[in-house]
Each structure stands twice: as C-alpha cells, then as structure tokens.
DNA sequence: CTGTTAGCGCTTTCAC
DNA sequence: GTGAAAGCGCTAACAG
C-alpha cells in the first residue's frame, strides 16, 4: 500500500465517464453553463466525481492559479494570551473564505520577523497579516513592494501607508486615566514598554492628555510615565512611581499588568485603597487578584474580522484602497478603581 | 506592475547561464556531485541564482514531489493557554526541519475536528498532529488509513494503535494527591471533566490510587470525584465536595482550576487553611491568587519536541515504528498546600 | 559532464 | 457541446 494514496484526478473521472479532462474541469468548477455543457453530462460527471471521491489537487491548482488559499500571519508570540486570542479569531474568519492561516511568532525581533515573512512569502501565501515589531518600517515597506496584500494589526506606522486595524489606544488610555481621576485618585502614573511603537506612544499620550485635561499637566513629569523592558525593571519602575507619590496606575499592556500585580502583591500594597489600578485586556489573572482589576477591553473578534475582510478584499477583488481602521475599546470597571 | 511579481525560475537561470534547466536543478538541489557537474558550472549557476534572486516555486515543487513541507495540527482551542504554548513549541520545533505548521481548533467537537482534518489533508499536509477529542477513535483510525504520518499529543486512545506523546498523568495525579495527604490534609477530593478521554481517566485514577495507598479507599466515594462540563457546574461541584467534608482539592485541568479558584475566592474560603489546592499547568492566575497555587507542570517544550521528532521521522525517513511516549511532569509546590 | 524528455494535476484558449 | 493541447515550474530517468 502506497503512502501517497493517489487520489482520483480529473483524468480518472474523464476516463470513467468517457469524456475529456477539460469537460470535467468545466463542470466541477461550475463553468458548465458558461460552456453550455449538457445537463445530462453535468449529472454524469458530478456523479462520477462523487463516486470516485474526487478531491482537487491543491498543489496543481496553486501552481496553475498562482494562489495558495493561505494567508500568513506574523505576530509577536502565539503563546501570549492576547495574540493567541487574535490568532483564534483570525482562524475563524479566514475559514469563512475557505482560507487557512499560517502563523509564526516574531518575538518582537526584527530579523526574526523578516525571516518569517520571507518564509511565508516563499510558501506562497496570498496575503500577509502582521503585528509589526519596532523599527520594522523598512520590512513593511519591502512587503508592500512585493505587491502582496498586507494588513497590519494591533500596531501601525504613521509614516508607512498601509492597511491597518488597531484599537483607539489614545482615547481608551485617556478615558481610563480620567476615570481613575474621577474615582478620587489624584496622582495617577502609568507603566508602558520602552518602545517607539505607535500603539505604546498612543497609550502614553492618552494618559498625558487626560492629565492635561484635568489641569495636572504640571504634575506629569516624565518620571510618571515609566518604561520597562525586562521583567526586573517593572519592580523598580513601581518603586520609583510610588516614591513620586503616585496613588494609582495604568498599565499599558496585559503583560505589564500581570507582572506588576505580582510585584504589588508581594509588596503587600492594598488595592484599591492605597493604589488604584487599570490594566489592559482582562483575563483570569485579573479576576483572581485580591480585588478584581478594571481593564480596557479590546474587541478582538471585531479586529480580526475587519483585518480578514480587508485582506480578502485585496486578494479576491484585487481592491487597492487603503483601509485604516481604529476600533473602539470598552472600559470595564471593577473593584480596583473604587477608592 | 503585475501583482504576481513572477519570480526567477530555473528556466531563467538556465537561459541566463546558457545551460539546460535540469543542470540548474541539479546544482541548486545539491546534486551537483552526484551528477559530476563541473566546479566551474556550479559556481556560475549558483552565482546566477543569487543574482536573479531565485526562489524555488513551492507549488511546483509540491506538485512534483507530492510534499507540502507543512504539518497540520488540530488542537482543542488555540486561545487556551495550554494549547497556545504547545502551538508555539510545535512551531519552533517544526521550523528546525524547515517545516511550517497549520493550526486549527476543534473546540472539542468531533464533527468540527473531522472537517478540519479533512481540510488539512486536502491542503496536502505531510503529517498530522492531533489533540483528539472525545469519541473520535474512528476519526483517528480513518486518518491512520490514509497512511498520513500521525501523532497524537496530550491524549491517546488505548484501543487505537498510534503514535502519541502525553504526560504521565496517572503518576502525577497520584503524586499530587499523596503530597496533599502528606501535608496534613486528610480528605482530598478532585474535580475533572466529565469525559471518557484517557488523560482524564488517568488523572482520576491517579487520585484514586493515592487514596488507596493511604488506606483511604473506603473514603473515596464517587462523590469525591466530581465531574463538570459547563462553568456553572463547577460551583455546584465544589459545594457538593465541601458538603462531603473535603479539606483539599486536586483540579484536573488548568481551566477547571481557574474557574474553581474564582468560586473559592467568591465564597471567601481560606486557602490553604480551610482548603488545600493543587492545580494543573501553572500560569499567572495561579500566582496572583491570595496564595500561590501548587501545580503539576507539564514539560510542554519536550512534548512538542518529541512529537515533531516522531512525525518528521515518519515523513522524512518513512519510518513506521509506533512511538508511544509518556513524559514526566513536575510537581511544583507553593503555598496552597502548606496547611 | 550535460541535455532531452516526460510527466505531476490543473485551467483555459482555441478549434471542431 | 466537446476535445486537444499548451503550459504553470519543477524533478528525475534516460541519453549521449
């Protein structure tokens, strides 16, 4: 018994029915009408296909059509809950179009992501969905030049003209901060990653905006917008912020929030009494903390839907409009901001 | 400018250098020696390939070779942390072999998983890695019959002869339970999913074993091994167990543990004083709970490594031995079991 | 040492 | 209404 259980081909059906291969191809691709194939013939061929359990050979089809019916996705790390939930939604959306999704994780490493992208393009993906990493403008531009349909998700570069779908980061961050203020906290600080990626800048600037709106612009020294990169630095960032007299914190990502909560717990700081908190993206860790944590929720399913919609437009219709979509987040208020 | 920026082909290189296509093919596939191509020629061709930025057309290659260099993976749900971490590891392992991974989520639904599998096979994947869902023996057997290399991961069916890689579930569960007992808890209970999947049966039976070993067999009524399926039932499962006089709990999965901790927190039960706890797989939620939770850790990276190793053996070498691997877990003890 | 040739399975143009 | 034939890019058996 051979491993490659050679499936029935058009030829097999043609022989079986006693007609030409092309006729079978027409019928099985719903081009029967167009070629005015007789009803009788159509029936016979479809029956035979059914009987022989015909499955089109996707390699041949791809070779011939220059299409793979696969879209490639490069994200930060698929084992990160935020990205894995995006992954799941992308998978579901793509499926609606009969498309499969090939994932790879860049680990926020530019070289690595370039390799992954090259690999995916080599694999013949019909389009690319990217969570671009820092300073990868040139990479994104290079992809653009290949003419491959491309949509960025979660992040974008203001100086690169591409499709993208992301959260209204600035606004959500502003809203979160002003909510903290409205709850009676007077000295909120924030912790974000030390990166030039736009979504982080926006989250920081939303915080700043809220502070200005509240007439606390003067209070916002750079030291209230702490940056961190490694896990260790979170602890020291919190120390410094507390030393500044901060009474509440906005965490710019889920990871930062989770790490920070760990630190806060270990320090025995009381939430929300001593410290008010808002995080990003929710998750069971937020709910199991001493007090449920308020958070900014991203409409992940919607983001995925829009992203796939855009890319499929380009792939199928060949549309070349640029879609830049900002979806609206939701602020979910729990106990951690109830002073 | 065309979308399909038609890449350089073997033909282009052949024309450029002024030789035949096959010669180019040999050289570029490292069969130069074998065909005793002259050094000079090899150099020229490789240079030309470099210069024209040749990239083999993967569709043609696949069509010709009947191989896609892709492996398909069907798991429960890629947005579940346990599976997304497996996904990530599988991705990394496959990459070492130049293979890509196509994921899909079955949601523990047999019909759905059958569709996904069929789809992946249609896509021409060279092998399949499955987290099989309940009662899908026949599906697995069907895959086996196609002759496609197959490895099950996380779970297996005792009555189906396949490759698999899973945790030493019974032993870990036994160890966890006996550890609970050794810590001074006398009435441990357990909560597992209501399923006939072997890994769940094993986790239950490990618990039972430990109880027998401790001379508490009589104490183990069925009611101490609660089953749950929906979220709501967890709450009632815990209620019943507490009513039975249970003073500690072993949760058979990460999800069950997380849900349960939520319930326990809401009930205001003191851990580890009133209730000792051991969960599965760890995660930040476990660490942020009032007291860090002890857990059984699965060597996910190792599992992925073994799985890919086995499947690549079959794909590349055509090996047909059956590998059934049980990897060893680790019991990580935290505060939740220190009475 | 190098070239010719025959497909892999499919789509599609053109001819009858 | 139906069929013949070319060709997508690649590999490999066979010639020379």
Q: What is the pLDDT of residues B218-266, one digit of tens each?
A: 777 665 666 666 556 888 888 888 888 899 999 999 999 999 999 999 9
Question: Does a structural domain hold residue B234?
Answer: yes
Tally Cβ neighbours within 10 Å of residue A123: 18
Asked if the structure places residue A291 within a domain, the reply is: yes
Same domain, B233 and B323: no
Question: Which pLDDT score, from 0 to 100, does residue B227 have?
Answer: 64
pLDDT at B1: 26
Predicted confidence (pLDDT) per residue in A153-182, tens digit: 999 999 999 999 999 999 999 999 999 999
Q: Residue B3 pLDDT more than 60?
A: no
Interval A129-146 mean pLDDT: 96
What are the contacts of B218-223 at 24+ separation with CB within 8 A? B219/B187
Work out if A51's Cβ lies within 7 angstroms of strand C: no
Is the Cβ atom of A249 within 7 Å of strand C at any atom?
Answer: no
Average confidence (pLDDT) over A201-214: 94
Which residue range is the domain that position B38 belongs to? 10-56
Q: Is the CB of A62 under 7 A from strand C?
A: no
The verdict on residue A156 lying in a domain is yes
Q: In this predicted structure, what is the pLDDT of residue A3?
A: 32
* pLDDT, tens digit, 9 for 90 and up, residues B10-42: 999 999 999 999 999 999 998 888 888 888 889
CA dist., res. A276 & res. A181, Å (int):
10
Summarize pLDDT for B33-88 with one digit per residue, the tens.
Answer: 888 888 888 999 999 999 999 999 999 999 999 999 999 999 999 999 999 999 99
* % pLDDT > 70, chain A: 95
Looking at residue A222, what is its pLDDT?
A: 65
Could you tell me which of A202, A199, A256, A266 has the C-alpha nearest to residue A233? A256
What is the pLDDT at residue B194?
85
Point out the residue nearest to C12 (C-alpha to C1').
Answer: A22
Pair B226, B254 in one domain: yes
Surface of B (288-307) touching A: CB under 8 A:
288-290
Q: Please give the tally of structural domains in chain B.
A: 3
Q: How confident is the model at residue A6 (pLDDT cuts 50, 70, 90)?
A: low
The predicted-structure confidence for A115-128, as pLDDT tens digits, reads as follows: 999 999 989 999 99
Query: A230 in the Ramachandran plot: left (φ > 0), alpha (ψ -120 to 50) or beta?
Result: beta
Mean pLDDT of A192-210: 93
Are the Cβ atoms of B100 and A102 closer than 8 angstroms?
yes
In a domain, A61, yes or no: no
On whether both B202 and B294 belong to a single domain, the answer is yes
**Do B175 and B294 lie in a common domain?**
yes
For A280-339, write each residue's pLDDT tens digit.
999 999 999 999 999 999 999 999 999 999 999 999 888 778 999 999 999 999 999 997
At residue B319 the predicted structure's pLDDT band, cuts being 50, 70 and 90, is: confident
Rounded average pLDDT over A41-67: 92
Q: What is the band of A5 on the pLDDT scale with cuts at 50, 70, 90?
A: very low
Same domain, A290 and A186: yes
Same domain, B222 and B308: no
User: For residue B321, is it within any domain?
Assistant: yes
* Residue in A100, A95, A92 with CA at minimum distance from that of residue A69: A100
Q: What mean pLDDT is reported for chain B?
A: 91
pTM of the model: 0.93
Establish if A135 belongs to a structural domain.
Answer: yes
Q: Is the separation of the CB atoms in B66 and A4 below 8 Å? A: yes
The verdict on B119 and B207 lying in the same domain is no
Whether A3 is covered by a domain: the verdict is no
CATH number at residue A96: 3.40.50.2300
Over chain A, what is the mean pLDDT? 92
Looking at residue B7, its pLDDT comes to: 77
CA distance A298 to chain B (A): 15
Probe site for chain A from B9, B76, B100, B108 (most A CB atoms < 10 A): B100
Say yes or no: Cβ of B21 under 7 A from any atom of strand C: yes
Q: What angle do CA B261, B262, B263 make, to 5 degrees?
A: 90
A119 touches chain B (CB under 8 A): yes
Same domain as A216, residue A96: no
Summarised one tens digit per residue, pLDDT across range B186-210 is 999 999 988 899 999 999 999 999 9
Q: Is A195 left (phi over 0), alpha (psi -120 to 50) or beta?
A: beta
- Same structural domain for residues A320 and A213? no
Of B37, B56, B75, at which residue does a domain stop?
A: B56
Distances (CA, A) of A226 to A43, A171, A234, A249: 70, 19, 9, 10
| B291 and B181 both lie in a single domain | yes
Q: Does the pLDDT value for residue A220 go beyond 90?
A: no
Residue with minimal CA–C1' distance to C2 is B23
Please report whether residue A92 resides in a domain: yes
Contact between B188 and B338 under an 8 Å Cβ cutoff? The reply is no
In total, chain A counts a number of residues equal to 339
Percent of chain B with pLDDT over 90: 78
Interchain CB contact of B107 with A (< 8 Å):
no
Instruction: Please write the tens of the pLDDT for every residue from A180-190.
Output: 999 999 999 99
Model pLDDT, residue A127: 96
What's the token pair of residue A10?
């058009």
Q: Are residues A128 and A270 in the same domain?
A: no
Asked if A196 and A160 sit in the same domain, the reply is no
């Amino acid at each position: 018994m051979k491993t490659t259980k050679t499936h029935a081909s058009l030829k097999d059906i043609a022989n079986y029915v006693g007609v030409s291969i092309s006729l079978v191809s027409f019928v099985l691709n719903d081009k029967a009408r167009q070629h005015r194939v007789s009803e009788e013939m159509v029936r016979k061929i479809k029956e035979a296909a059914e009987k022989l359990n015909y499955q089109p050979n996707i390699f041949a089809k791809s070779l011939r059509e220059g299409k793979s019916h696969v879209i490639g996705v490069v994200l930060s790390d698929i084992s990160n809950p935020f990205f894995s939930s995006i992954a799941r939604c992308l998978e579901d959306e793509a499926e609606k179009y009969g498309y499969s999704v090939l994932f790879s994780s860049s680990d926020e490493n530019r070289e690595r992501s370039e390799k992954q992208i090259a690999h995916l393009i080599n694999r013949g993906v019909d389009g690319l969905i990217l969570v671009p990493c820092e300073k990868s403008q040139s990479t994104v531009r290079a992809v653009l030049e290949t003419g491959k349909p491309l949509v960025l998700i979660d992040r974008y570069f203001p100086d690169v003209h591409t499709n993208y779908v992301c959260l209204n980061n600035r606004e959500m961050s502003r809203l979160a901060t002003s909510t903290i203020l409205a709850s009676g906290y007077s000295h909120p600080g924030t912790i974000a990653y030390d990166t030039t990626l736009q979504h982080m800048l926006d989250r920081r600037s939303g915080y700043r905006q809220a502070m200005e709106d509240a007439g606390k612009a003067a209070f916002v020294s750079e030291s209230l917008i702490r940056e961190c990169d490694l896990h260790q630095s979170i602890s020291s960032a919190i120390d410094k912020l507390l030393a500044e007299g901060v009474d509440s914190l906005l965490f710019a990502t889920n990871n930062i929030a989770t790490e920070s909560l760990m630190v806060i717990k270990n320090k025995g700081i009381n939430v929300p009494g001593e410290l008010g908190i808002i995080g990003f993206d929710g998750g069971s860790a937020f709910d199991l903390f001493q007090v449920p944590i308020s958070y900014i929720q991203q409409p992940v399913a919607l983001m995925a839907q829009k992203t796939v919609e855009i890319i499929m437009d380009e792939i199928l219709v060949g549309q070349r409009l640029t879609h830049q979509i900002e979806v609206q987040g939701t602020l979910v208020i729990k106990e951690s901001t109830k002073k």
